[in-house]
């Protein structure tokens, strides 16, 4: 079964802005799916339509077996949404925020208490359950929003930039939790500006630009199309100038670091061989940029040229 099916979805605002231009998109049940796009691409509008916060101009959205127009309440009950902005009462406790959401979905108090405890523990917030939310850190507030979105046990969880503004340690902890949630059967749609999140977590991906889906594929196939990668090489001895090796772009970052562009057709072995032949010993190698980020930029740039 498809967790989400979108057909010919359009959104035109009163000022004439066409935010979404007839997109089609499917997300399979159980998937961890990335929806990416630059600012103004139509990503937030699409999420808004799926979650009933924005009315579509035309088209069809089905969430599992529910048509969003004909059976909105059922469709909404399948969804848990974690928005970009913190949007709960800053003077309520973490437990009350999550409990109130359970009540919104008609959950009996005894059941709501049980699910609130489960979600706060999953998000490592149980010790903070009685803390007024304005006293929580930014990362904890983000986790409260995820717990709130999950309390009614949605089948589809939409994470709209859930780790924006949190430090890397908290972000990686949240990744692990979201992977656990997905492994337990919840379908997840993730939007993020941290492209390493999408590469690490998601199995399938769609990229939206200028209101249109420009890519809709699995992550492995998309990454396989990357024609080159960018590395930083640390070398043992200081260099006065960059070495020259046919087929590679090499420049000095400093006396003991090289910036290297490696074509996929050539790979790293020929690079190491060429450096070794010139008496240059590499002591470490690291990716300069995320692979998905490079593809994303290439696709967006291509859209601009078109």
Find the helix packing angle between 109-122 and 138-150, rounded to 10°: 140
- Tokens 């973490």 correspond to 94
What's the whole-model pTM score? 0.81
pLDDT tens per residue across span 240-279: 999 999 999 999 999 999 999 988 788 888 999 999 999 9
CA 151 to chain centre: 21
pLDDT of 57 reads 96
Q: How many CB atoms are closer than 10 A to CB 33?
A: 27
Helix, strand, or coil (residue 163): coil
Helix, strand, or coil (residue 195): helix
Q: How many CB atoms are closer than 10 A to CB 198?
A: 25
The answer on pLDDT for 145 being more than 60 is: yes
Lowest mean per-residue pLDDT among 68-82, 122-136, 192-206:
192-206
- Tokens 């930014």 correspond to 138
- Domain 2-223, architecture per CATH: 3-Layer(aba) Sandwich (3.40)
The span from the CA of 87 to the CA of 271, in Å, is 51
CA 259 to chain centre: 28
Q: Which of 85, 64, 88 is nearest to 76 (CA)?
A: 64
pLDDT tens per residue across span 4-58: 999 999 999 999 899 999 999 999 999 999 999 888 889 999 999 999 999 999 9
CATH number of the structural domain 227-305: 3.30.70.1560
pLDDT of 222 reads 85
The answer on pLDDT for 195 being more than 90 is: no
List the domain boundaries for the chain.
2-223, 227-305
The answer on pLDDT for 59 being more than 70 is: yes
The answer on pLDDT for 304 being more than 60 is: no
Please give the average per-residue pLDDT across 147-173, as a whole number. 88
């Amino acid at each position: 079964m498809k967790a989400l099916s979108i057909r010919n979805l359009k959104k035109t605002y009163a000022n004439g802005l066409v935010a979404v231009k007839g997109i089609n998109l499917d997300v399979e049940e159980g998937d961890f799916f990335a929806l990416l796009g630059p600012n103004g691409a139509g990503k937030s509008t699409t999420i808004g339509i799926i979650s009933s916060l924005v009315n579509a101009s035309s088209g069809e959205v089905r969430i599992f077996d529910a048509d969003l127009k004909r059976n909105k309440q059922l469709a909404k009950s399948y969804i848990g949404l974690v928005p970009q902005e913190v949007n709960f009462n800053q003077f309520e406790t973490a437990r009350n925020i999550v409990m109130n959401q359970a009540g919104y979905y008609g959950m009996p108090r005894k059941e709501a208490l049980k699910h609130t405890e489960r979600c706060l523990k999953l998000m490592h917030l149980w010790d903070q359950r009685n803390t007024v939310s304005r006293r929580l850190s930014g990362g904890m507030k983000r986790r409260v929003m995820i717990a709130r979105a999950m309390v009614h046990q949605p089948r589809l969880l939409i994470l709209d930039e859930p780790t924006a503004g949190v430090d890397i340690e908290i972000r990686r902890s949240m990744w692990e939790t979201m992977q656990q949630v997905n492994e337990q059967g919840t379908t997840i749609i993730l939007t993020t500006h941290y492209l390493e999140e999408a590469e690490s977590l998601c199995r399938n991906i769609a990229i939206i630009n200028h209101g249109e889906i420009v890519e809709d594929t699995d992550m492995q196939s998309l990454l396989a199309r990357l024609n080159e990668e960018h590395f930083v090489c640390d070398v043992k001895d200081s260099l006065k100038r960059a070495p020259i090796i046919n087929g590679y772009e090499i420049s000095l970052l400093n006396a003991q670091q090289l910036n290297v562009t490696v074509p996929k057709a050539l790979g790293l072995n020929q690079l190491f061989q060429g450096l070794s032949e010139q008496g240059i010993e590499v002591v470490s190698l690291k990716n300069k940029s995320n692979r998905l980020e490079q593809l994303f930029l290439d696709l967006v740039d291509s859209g601009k040229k078109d």
